Structure 1
Amino acid sequence: MKRILITLLAVLLAWSLGAQTTGVDLQSQLEELVASVLEENENADVEQLWSELEWLQEHPLNINQAGREDLQRLYFLSTLQIDQLLEYREEYGPIYSPFELNAMEGFDPELIQLLQVFVVFGEEAYEPASFGPRQELMLRAIRLVETQKGFREPAKYEGSPEKLYLRYRFSSPGLAAGLTSEKDAGESFFSGANPYGFDYYSAFATITLGQRKHQLFLGDYLVRFGQGLTAWQGFSLSKSAEVSQVAKFNQGIRSYSSTDENNFLRGAAARFSIRDWTWHTFASYKSFDANRDSIDGEAVFTSFQSSGLHRTASEIEDKNSVEGLTTGTNLTYSAERFSIGFSAVHFRYELPLARRPADYNLFYFEGKQLSNAGLNYQWGMNRYYFFGEAAWSSGGGLATMHGLQASPADAVEYAMVYRNISKKYQAPLAGSFTEGSQVNDEQGIYLGLVIRPAAKLSLRMYADFFQHQWVKYTTAAPARGREYLVQANYKLSDRWDIYSRYFRECKPVKVSGTYTKMNLDQTRQKLRVQLNGAVGERFLLKSRMEWAWYQHDQNAEGWLVFQDFGYKNKPNTTNWWLRLAYFKTDNYDSRIYAYENDLLYQFAVPAFYGEGIRFYMNGKVKICENIEAWMKASRSWLLGVNSIGSGNSKIDGNQRTEVKFQLRFKF
């Protein structure tokens, strides 16, 4: 999943920026995989990933000059593909044409076409055209047309129903800087709790010295080391049928520019490179949202708040209510196809964390201080690539993860990932390969396989087996689970393709009995068939049918069908998408997710349940060379209901309408 998703984010980015990318099937898979990511984690920071890909598109690499670390920044290239490219370059010399890439194993026409968006071909000494200072300003407004309960008198929300966004970027060869600000619907603007404008502000500055060998980061940033057991912030994927990217690259420190109001650090950081050694160091001091309380007269906080919403009195009270200090370092040695790194992170909170009494909280961290340390490695040998990390947390928690990915034959790829994370292991910055959202108390093994038995046919499949030694929020006892996926893709012609996917997950979920709670297996199954195609150079079509089945203490099922129509003019200054969907499910348990095209840096993956119809229209217009506009209008009709939503989000009636508008200025 990771390789396809990253690749397809890049494909869609290239398409939106005018690149000559014709892989309709790749764009289609992008949408499905973004949906699968956000189904599991609605807060996945896809926006940050998209922003990084756009930066890479505007600053292409010389394919004959780029080293391993440079090529790893392209995300969608696997380690084995990078090895192939470097070995070819070493044996045959500079690569002067994208046609030469056809001779390299693992480089299919669609990947080669995508790679041309991010690299230039020429002599090793050739430098891509330098550029002077560039600036960008983006404005966005979103509004729900119907009035939610929280805005009715007496209003529960402090602010207006508009969601507003402003982003500014400056970039030059040695300096990059930016400001991001956002006000969510219901938050005040230049009034109430926000007398200085927006509810959320984020800023960064990155100074680069010595041909990117040394960097200084000021303001907001992310840290990403090893395989994520010690520290990995921002976008992260785990289980995937696309086996060539189950490993993480050691990306180090990156400037932060997203609207996730929690998962980043704020302070100063630095990166220094000397020959084969790279050293990162960072220090962060920032406030975060939390629930404060008092125990025996001592101030504590009982939980972290991650919604980023500050609309009601209680939400405003939790805003930036606790401060925390985070410091850390990473030292990595890299040589050819081998690297080894050591990471250490220390946390100190202003107040002690005292979680509410519950069985599932028994082994989670409590107190004011916590430390992590980890040792990670990567080693490539012929067609095989080994990777892993071992980590420790104060309190005696241990975690380890080891993996293998390989391509023993041209038409076969496989991967294995084993993880063993103790119930005592705690790492606030962790983001590794796991079934659950927490990197804690999990043992499991993932097996993935890709087979291409014919030129137009590919089969992708994976199986994941996992277990937990202690109770979770959703379980009443230790539990085991399993998950399977099988997908077949067939290319009907140059412009048409079809795929079918079957997914099955079975894991215990607690139910209430007469006298106690107990685990009962919950089974989810999904079957999807989708046809993608193009009519001529300008018109795109997409048709999907999907079924879902749910079994637990009650059974439920549902289905969804939609038809998409896409249009883009020849100079690619205008493109539009329209969708008409019908869905019918027994309840929320049998819900079905479907990705929707949206504004740049925006991703919509609504859950469909009940019975209803949904329509949306989304488009982009390039007004002139320096001004672009995006817009989206959507409406849902739910049949047989008198209201939509609950609590302060409740809407009277059976219709929900949303409009979005965005402008980008480049100068």
Structure 2
Amino acid sequence: MKHICTFFIALFIVFNTKAQLPEKQQETTTTEQQLESLTENNEDAETEDDAFLQQMLQYQKNPINVNYASETDLKELRILSAIQIHNFINYRNYIGILIDVYELQAVPGWDVATIQKIRPYITVATNANLVTTIGKRLVGGEHSILLRVSQNVEKAKGYKIDQNTSKNYYPGSPQRLFMRYRYNYKNLLQYGIVAEKDAGEQFFKGSQKQGFDFYSAHIFAKNIGLVKSLAIGDYTVNMGQGLTQWMSLAFKKGPDVVATKREAEVLRPYNSAGEVFFHRGVGITMAKNKWQATAFASYKKVDANFAEGDSTITQDDYVTSFQTSGFHRTASEVTDKGINKQLAFGGNLSYQLKNVHVGFNAIQYSFKYPLQKSVEPYNLYALSGKNFGNYSADYSYTHNNFHFFGEAAISSKKYPAFINGLLISVANNVDMSFVYRNISKGYQSLYTNAFTESSTPTNEKGLFLGISIKPTTAYTISAYADFYSFKWLRYRVNAPTTGSDYVIQLNYKPNKIFEIYTRFKAESKSINYNPNNITLNPVIPQPKQAWRTHLVYKINPQITFKTRVEAVWFDKKGLAKENGFLLYADVAYKPMMKPFSGNIRLQYFETDGYNSRLYAYENDVLYSFSIPVFYDKGYRYYVNVNYDISKNLTVWARVSQYVYSDKTTVGTGLDEINGNHKTEAKLQLLYRF
């Protein structure tokens, strides 16, 4: 109670101080929840793919002209459902081009809330002349250079170890560096270079004599006659419903219960800091009439754990796993860097006939060294070998207010996988979604992201049911239930299991200045639980419930206040019982027509352990966000500020810190810090010309 009182006293002081600490980039509460769920689903690993943020800000500068936008263009916004897009295309075909954006209110299924969400990213205008557009592509766009540096202020154990007495240490500096140059002309032509160095990696010396640890370059052009997309360098591939290939950011279960369908262009440019989820080579998409065809080829080095073969039994060299962290700090991590070579090629052929879409997808991989995982029961059906692939057909059909979609896939080892979904607009204020998936235990894939409970589509069968009800324009009730089973063993789960997930959320947003939602979530998953170290690991279900209330209030045009309270109960009646609690308040300040803005947050958290951990989205510098995991007991605060030095130059600064109540060290292994606090400082510059 003492800590909570202290928290509110500090909040009162901050709230009543006219501090100029604003917020530059703010996501919607729905997007924040989706990103939090994504981090939790990916075992606390935050995504480094900021293409989504880049894309939405680019659409603000160069809005989509809805008079000539294709179905694919509208899908890229990730705001509209398949039924809403279908209704709009039919409306435009019947009525003709729009004169004013407010005509969208006449489109069936488009309510005021939808139009408000999409309004910043669209426009109504006459189409640009193709010849003129091509002539301006190389000279009429915007150049930008982004530089970012961040560092933990406290020195971790890995930097203190005597290099003469140990081989396991961090030889590089503690700074993380990121640089990106990009040229963009109205989403029709872009090219650029990315360079990145993680904390602990060397820079222009040792194992990194070329400077940065990771380099990426790309050229991406759209709408050149029959060529719809042309990718040279680094790019991502997205096909079907994510069973065969899906490299771009994609959300799973969340508050937007009808956002269950994967929708994106097959080829997308890649210019983010992540070092794994992209192809390096050439890709092209061509379209004519109702047909569209994509082909791509890629060759790149990938990180892997290398193992020498046994010559006595004529065993070749192999790798035991692929590494996806992107870290190349210690000697062992540097040894794993680019040890395997990956050749990938594939394509997509699709046909669109009014309400029907059919597509065929294929991808094939070939590696220098075969993959051979450790001999464990749960690895019996794991990905293995030197050559493998995935092949599928995806499909969709729209009729009035019904939209059916799915993908049927098979691996090169002939294991099948299916995902089928149905979206129904029951009434103007009621939408429903259903997703059924049945993925065999032997179906394995690389760089995929389907609508599943697991992070990768394998060994899962389940049914998702969601409903969204809007009794009035101010209220939205969203709920879903997901039932799933795993027919084979998994890591830390020594038996086939079942699970369930239930969520109900009530949103109240009467106007643009006030929004509040409250959410209850209950889930049950099974895991090995063996505190007494008996011979056989018992597998028991461990239920978890969580309740959250989140409020956003725009006090005036300059100041926005946000607060959240959340409680978690893990295995409430079981032997592994844990509880968790989180409370924060956030004040953003963004004065009109002023060059500065920013925000500040104060937070208290207390949990009994890692199983009762919590997550909270944090605002960061432009094109970035942070979603820390909170467990144990302590405080966290952060301050963001940004200043437009000139029309072309903007600077951001951020400081964040954990302060733990009962710890003498923070972190583990080489990342261990002496003391009870951990501080990160970040600085970013963006120059446009």
| Structure-2-length-normalised TM-score | 0.90
* Equivalent in the alignment of 1:226: 240
CA displacement 1:293-318 (0-9 Å, x = unmatched): 02323210000111101110111110
Match of 2:115 among 112, 117, 127: 112
- Matches for 1:330-345 after TM superposition, within 5 Å: 330-345=348-363
* Equivalent in the alignment of 1:9: none
* Equivalent in the alignment of 1:163: 176
Q: The residue matched to 1:117 in structure 2 has which SS? A: helix
- Give 1:622 shift: 1.8
Instruction: Indicate whether 1:69 and 2:87 are aligned.
Output: no
Instruction: Indicate whether 1:305 and 2:323 are aligned.
Output: yes
Q: 1:225 to 1:305 in 2, by over 3 A?
A: same
* Equivalent in the alignment of 2:148: 140
- Give 1:243 shift: 2.9
Match of 1:326 among 321, 329, 344: 344
* Equivalent in the alignment of 1:579: 601
Contact 1:619 1:631 in 2 (8 A): yes
- Give 1:200 shift: 0.5
- Give 1:170 shift: 1.8
* Equivalent in the alignment of 2:378: 360
* Equivalent in the alignment of 1:47: 50
- Give 1:485 shift: 0.6
Deviates more, 1:617-626 or 1:205-214: 205-214
Contact 1:583 1:613 in 2 (8 A): yes
Contact 1:242 1:448 in 2 (8 A): no
* Equivalent in the alignment of 1:400: 418
Instruction: Indicate whether 1:80 and 2:83 are aligned.
Output: yes
Q: 1:159 to 1:630 in 2, by over 3 A?
A: same
Contact 1:502 1:526 in 2 (8 A): yes
Q: Which amino acid aligns with 1:392?
A: I
Deviates more, 1:284-293 or 1:164-173: 164-173
* Equivalent in the alignment of 1:101: 104
Q: The residue matched to 1:295 in structure 2 has which SS? A: coil
Deviates more, 1:483-492 or 1:125-134: 125-134
CA displacement 1:90-121 (0-9 Å, x = unmatched): 22222121221222233333432342322221
* Equivalent in the alignment of 2:504: 486
CA displacement 1:221-240 (0-9 Å, x = unmatched): 11101111111112122223
Deviates more, 1:450-459 or 1:42-51: 42-51
* Equivalent in the alignment of 2:160: 152
Q: The residue matched to 1:435 in structure 2 has which SS? A: coil
- Give 1:666 shift: 0.6
For residues 70 and 201 of structure 1, what CA distance do their matches in structure 2 show?
29
Q: Which amino acid aligns with 1:188?
A: Q
* Equivalent in the alignment of 1:532: 552
Contact 2:236 2:269 in 1 (8 A): yes
Q: Which amino acid aligns with 1:37?
A: L
Q: 1:449 to 1:214 in 2, by over 3 A?
A: closer
Q: The residue matched to 2:468 in structure 1 has which SS? A: strand
CA displacement 1:123-153 (0-9 Å, x = unmatched): 4678999670321100000011101000113
For residues 149 and 345 of structure 1, what CA distance do their matches in structure 2 show?
43
Instruction: Indicate whether 1:568 and 2:590 are aligned.
Output: yes
- Give 1:250 shift: 4.8
Instruction: Indicate whether 1:645 and 2:667 are aligned.
Output: yes
- Give 1:206 shift: 1.8
Q: Which amino acid aligns with 1:641?
A: K
Deviates more, 1:63-72 or 1:410-419: 63-72
Instruction: Indicate whether 1:202 and 2:222 are aligned.
Output: no
For residues 522 and 609 of structure 2, what CA distance do their matches in structure 1 show?
19
Instruction: Indicate whether 1:242 and 2:245 are aligned.
Output: no
CA displacement 1:310-330 (0-9 Å, x = unmatched): 110111110111101111011
* Equivalent in the alignment of 2:576: 554
Give runs of ≥4 in structure 1 deviating > 6 Å.
125-131
Higher relative contact order (CA 8 A, sep 6+): 2
* Equivalent in the alignment of 1:4: none
* Equivalent in the alignment of 1:621: 643
Deviates more, 1:81-90 or 1:268-277: 81-90
Instruction: Indicate whether 1:633 and 2:655 are aligned.
Output: yes
CA displacement 1:553-588 (0-9 Å, x = unmatched): 411102111111011111264321101111111112
Contact 1:45 1:235 in 2 (8 A): no
* Equivalent in the alignment of 2:270: 256
For residues 384 and 571 of structure 1, what CA distance do their matches in structure 2 show?
46
For residues 325 and 107 of structure 1, what CA distance do their matches in structure 2 show?
45
Contact 2:237 2:246 in 1 (8 A): yes
Q: The residue matched to 1:243 in structure 2 has which SS? A: coil
- Give 1:373 shift: 0.8
Q: The residue matched to 1:396 in structure 2 has which SS? A: coil
CA RMSD of aligned residues (A): 1.9
Contact 1:43 1:260 in 2 (8 A): no
* Equivalent in the alignment of 1:11: none
* Equivalent in the alignment of 1:5: none
Q: The residue matched to 2:452 in structure 1 has which SS? A: coil
Contact 1:240 1:448 in 2 (8 A): no
- Matches for 1:430-445 after TM superposition, within 5 Å: 430-445=448-463
For residues 348 and 490 of structure 2, what CA distance do their matches in structure 1 show?
32
* Equivalent in the alignment of 2:197: 183
Contact 2:46 2:626 in 1 (8 A): no
CA displacement 1:441-500 (0-9 Å, x = unmatched): 110000001111233211101000000110000211000000011101112554222211
CA displacement 1:222-281 (0-9 Å, x = unmatched): 110111111111212222342332111252111111111111111111111111111100
For residues 269 and 489 of structure 2, what CA distance do their matches in structure 1 show?
37
* Equivalent in the alignment of 2:125: 122
**Where do 5+ consecutive residues of structure 1 fail to align?**
1-14, 18-23
Q: 1:107 to 1:572 in 2, by over 3 A?
A: farther
Instruction: Indicate whether 1:596 and 2:618 are aligned.
Output: yes
Q: 1:414 to 1:241 in 2, by over 3 A?
A: farther
For residues 529 and 116 of structure 1, what CA distance do their matches in structure 2 show?
28
Q: Which amino acid aligns with 1:548?
A: V
Contact 2:49 2:274 in 1 (8 A): no
Instruction: Indicate whether 1:289 and 2:310 are aligned.
Output: no
Contact 1:229 1:430 in 2 (8 A): yes
* Equivalent in the alignment of 2:32: 31
For residues 48 and 436 of structure 1, what CA distance do their matches in structure 2 show?
23
Q: 1:16 to 1:338 in 2, by over 3 A?
A: farther
Q: How many residues are paired up?
A: 646
* Equivalent in the alignment of 2:539: 519
For residues 230 and 125 of structure 2, what CA distance do their matches in structure 1 show?
30
* Equivalent in the alignment of 1:458: 476
Q: Which amino acid aligns with 1:539?
A: I
Contact 1:45 1:234 in 2 (8 A): no
Deviates more, 1:323-332 or 1:79-88: 79-88
For residues 407 and 444 of structure 1, what CA distance do their matches in structure 2 show?
23
The sequence identity of aligned pairs, in percent, is 35
* Equivalent in the alignment of 1:7: none
- Give 1:355 shift: 0.6
Q: The residue matched to 2:154 in structure 1 has which SS? A: coil
CA displacement 1:423-445 (0-9 Å, x = unmatched): 11112132111111121111000
Q: 1:90 to 1:274 in 2, by over 3 A?
A: closer
For residues 587 and 61 of structure 1, what CA distance do their matches in structure 2 show?
47
Deviates more, 1:620-629 or 1:238-247: 238-247
* Equivalent in the alignment of 1:8: none
* Equivalent in the alignment of 1:421: 439
For residues 371 and 40 of structure 1, what CA distance do their matches in structure 2 show?
25
For residues 404 and 32 of structure 1, what CA distance do their matches in structure 2 show?
23
**Where do 5+ consecutive residues of structure 2 fail to align?**
1-22, 164-168
- Give 1:212 shift: 7.3
Q: The residue matched to 2:35 in structure 1 has which SS? A: helix
* Equivalent in the alignment of 2:5: none
